[in-house]
Amino acid sequence: MKPTLLLLLTLAGLALPCPAAPQNSDASNEAAPNLATPQERHLRNVRQLTFGGQNAEAYFSADGQKLIFQSTRDNLQCDQMFTMNVDGSNVHMVSNGKGKTTCGYFYPDGKTILYSSTYLADAQCPPRPDYSKGYTWAVYPGFDIFAANPDGSGVMQLTDTPGYDAEATLSPNGKHIVFTSMRNGDLDIYTMDSDGRHVKQLTHELGYDGGPVFSPDGKWIVYRAYHPSGEKEITEYKDLLAQNLIRPTSLEIWIMKANGRHKRQITHLGAASFAPAFSHSGKRIIFSSNLGSTGGMGNFELYAINVNGKGLEQITYSPGFDGFPMFSADGKKLVWASNRNGKAPHETNIFVADWVP
């Protein structure tokens, strides 16, 4: 919801191991009873759901019983889409193993899944970004958005325009998809019906608008944005975009009405803040940021803030990376990706916790 797992690693200044480290049983009992650190007062009964490799962007089904996530595991060369039970059991790959996938999500009725893939453009993994250009994220033009049955069968293509189409999530009533696209030459946010029809552009500002997520009542959308200002920033942004790259090192959190009106910047942190999601009440936003980090991209933690931009609060206190948070529909659980308790350097796994208001 959401940068790709490659962005997660890029932001942390890491190289993606390929293939991933061997997997232990995802429903293993290796994890300690509670993996929260002492300062994490909002998290109780933190449990590790995956063990080894790179796992990220886990999002709940509407009934809170399943998670969809992306992973590079076993002998996979780049991210594929998986589902599992909320306790980490019954892990299944639901994409076809071709190309690269990102941004999985469940339709509210649980009968359909949503994700993006490059497999129609090329069955092989796309090339990684040129890190000689610094921290960059590839917006692969081969990405399109697909729907499928929960077991991965019955794949249906929802977008077919040239250029990047990804970062898709659904409205709570399941009638609309919000996503990021480069179909008009810049990275903007769009909505469409759940079957891919009636596409509407919501953002028009120069720069990157992405990772959009609806509020629980479906009236608002939260997203991350970088709007370059000044000739130098604008030139660099356009030059990178012409190479299907962006530099995601300065991102702020924004909200807007579901029709694209009343845009408002929520954070002014001067950091890489991304992966926002609303709380159960819709009054708070949780997100990841490297606020206050020095050297490289530094340490990413989860933060929460009121929708009026006040009340910033740090949620996680764990060295390395904590990102891609999402609350269950009832607000009782939080799922996110973290480096904590890793058995190998930079290992990223999925964790779930009971949420303590």
Write down the pLDDT at residue 8.
46
Higher per-residue confidence, 139 vs 129: 139
Grouping H, G, I as helix, E, B as strand and the rest as coil, residue 205 is coil
Question: Which among 114, 106, 35 is positioned nearest to 65, based on CA atoms?
Answer: 106
Residues 6+ apart with CB under 8 A from 312: 267, 303, 304, 305
Q: Please, what is the average pLDDT of the chain? A: 90
Q: CA separation (Å) from 193 to 27, 107, 170, 188, 262?
A: 36, 12, 9, 17, 22
Q: Residue 8 belongs to what H/E stretch?
A: helix 5-11
pLDDT digits (tens, 9 = 90+) for 41-81: 999 999 999 998 899 999 999 999 999 999 998 889 999 99
Residue 292: the pLDDT is 85
- What's the Cα-to-Cα distance from 172 to each of 145, 220, 278, rounded to whole Å? 18, 11, 12
* Average pLDDT score over residue span 95-113: 97
- Mean pLDDT (whole number) for 200-209: 98
Structure tokens at 280: 């159960």
Question: Which residues fall within 8 angstroms of residue 114, CB to CB, at 6 or more apart?
Answer: 103, 104, 105, 106, 107, 145, 146, 147, 158, 168, 169, 170, 177
Q: How far apart are CA 148 and CA 166, in angstroms?
A: 15
With beta carbons less than 8 A apart as the criterion, state whether 342 and 349 touch: yes
Give CA–CA dist 313/188, Å, rounded. 29
Q: Hey, what are 295's tokens?
A: 């050297």
**Predicted pLDDT of residue 128:** 87
Closest CA to 42 of 341, 350, 332, 346: 332
The rounded distance, in Å, linking the Cα atoms of 168 and 115 is: 7
**Residue 13 in this model has a pLDDT that exceeds 80:** no
Can you give the pLDDT at residue 35?
Answer: 87
Percent of the chain exceeding pLDDT 90 equals 82
pLDDT tens digits, one per residue of 219-251: 999 999 999 999 999 999 999 999 999 998 999
Confidence (pLDDT) at 295: 53
Tokens of 212: 């959009």
